[in-house]
């Protein structure tokens, strides 16, 4: 089933009358259950593309269909609901609340959702899924960088989203912690989650099954990653 379809998407920014063209005529389809990497150098437009697909920003023109729905006329409230209920985000900088427990950080999206029940159980289950079941009551500033990113993944999972966006998820991590994070994303994809990974690192991109390369706001290649080319993280390392 087609989850994401972009048709002729253009994104411009207007800064005091100065127009900056960031995305140029983007056409892209993502099926449910894919593991896709968006790759490109700094300034290529890859993060803007992720923000557009993830409803953090609106395109200037073009058509965007999400889960079969034309999003053009969605209100800000409708887009916020989609972000909360059907999309999970994992960012390079973790974005956890300081001096707040791991469990409370993961429960936070549920407070803004329509869900009324089982918040604590759902958050605990998400933390167990990323092997942090024994860190529930640690403060977020008491755990390592790799553990913080795993908390961020659990928070992205807790509302059972259709797709998880991971923007440079290993960028602030050492190689061991980065390998753990990639293993978790691979496992989630094997369990049926759609994963869209944004990275400038080819070694990270090759964990995906498809790599879309963007340069100067345009898609310049869209390739399937053959099994022999793929990199695999074999196990979760504890830290």
Q: Per residue in 84-124, pLDDT tens?
A: 889 999 998 899 998 899 999 999 999 877 666 789 999 99
Establish how many alpha carbons lie within 13 A of residue 134's alpha carbon, considering only the half-sphere containing its beta carbon. Answer: 3
Q: What average pLDDT does the structure give for the chain? A: 92
- Give the CATH number, domain containing residue 94: 3.40.50.300
pLDDT score, position 118: 87
Calculate mean pLDDT across residues 45-59: 94
Report if residue 96 sits inside a domain: yes
CA distances 220 to 2, 61, 124, 197, 216, Å, are: 22, 20, 42, 17, 9
Calculate mean pLDDT across residues 120-131: 94
Q: Give how many domains the chain has, as a whole number.
A: 1
Residue 234 has pLDDT above 70, yes or no: no
Report if residue 162 sits inside a domain: yes
Residues 214-224 have pLDDT tens digits of 999 999 999 99
Report if residue 24 sits inside a domain: yes
Report if residue 148 sits inside a domain: yes
Residue 140 has pLDDT above 90, yes or no: yes
pLDDT score, position 143: 94
pLDDT score, position 209: 96
Q: Domain of residue 93: give its range.
A: 2-224
Percent of the chain whose pLDDT exceeds 90: 82
Q: Are strands 18-31 and 2-15 parallel, antiparallel or unpaired?
A: antiparallel
Report if residue 127 sits inside a domain: yes
User: CA-CA distance, 21 to 61, in Å (whole number)?
Assistant: 12
Residue 12: pLDDT band with limits 50, 70, 90 = very high
Two tokens at 102? 């791991």
Task: Enter the pTM of the model.
Answer: 0.91
Residue 228: pLDDT band with limits 50, 70, 90 = confident
Percent of the chain whose pLDDT exceeds 70: 96
pLDDT score, position 230: 87
Residue 235 has pLDDT above 70, yes or no: no
Report if residue 232 sits inside a domain: no
Residue 227: pLDDT band with limits 50, 70, 90 = confident
Report if residue 230 sits inside a domain: no
User: Which residues are 228's β-sheet partners?
Assistant: none
Report if residue 235 sits inside a domain: no
Residues 169-193 have pLDDT tens digits of 998 899 999 999 999 999 999 999 9
């Amino acid at each position: 089933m087609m989850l994401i379809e972009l048709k002729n998407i253009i994104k411009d920014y207007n800064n005091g009358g100065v127009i900056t063209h960031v995305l140029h005529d983007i056409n892209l389809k993502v099926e449910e259950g894919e593991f896709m990497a968006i790759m490109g150098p700094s300034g290529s437009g890859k993060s803007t593309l992720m923000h557009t697909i993830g409803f953090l920003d609106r395109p200037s023109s073009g058509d965007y269909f999400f889960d079969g729905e034309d999003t053009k006329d969605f209100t800000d409230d409708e887009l916020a609901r989609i972000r909360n209920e059907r999309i999970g985000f994992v960012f390079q900088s973790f974005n956890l609340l300081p001096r707040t427990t791991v469990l409370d950080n993961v429960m936070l999206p549920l407070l803004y959702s329509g869900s009324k029940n089982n918040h604590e159980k759902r958050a605990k289950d998400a933390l167990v899924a990323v092997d942090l079941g024994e860190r529930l009551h640690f403060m977020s500033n008491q755990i390592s960088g790799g553990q913080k990113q795993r908390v961020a993944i659990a928070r992205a999972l807790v509302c059972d989203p259709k797709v998880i966006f991971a923007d440079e998820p290993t960028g602030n991590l050492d190689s061991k912690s980065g390998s753990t994070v990639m293993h978790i994303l691979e496992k989630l994809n094997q369990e049926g989650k759609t994963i869209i990974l944004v990275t400038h690192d080819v070694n990270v991109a090759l964990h995906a099954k498809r790599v879309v390369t963007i340069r100067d706001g345009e898609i310049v290649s869209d390739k399937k990653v053959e099994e022999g080319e793929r990199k695999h993280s074999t196990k979760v390392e504890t830290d």
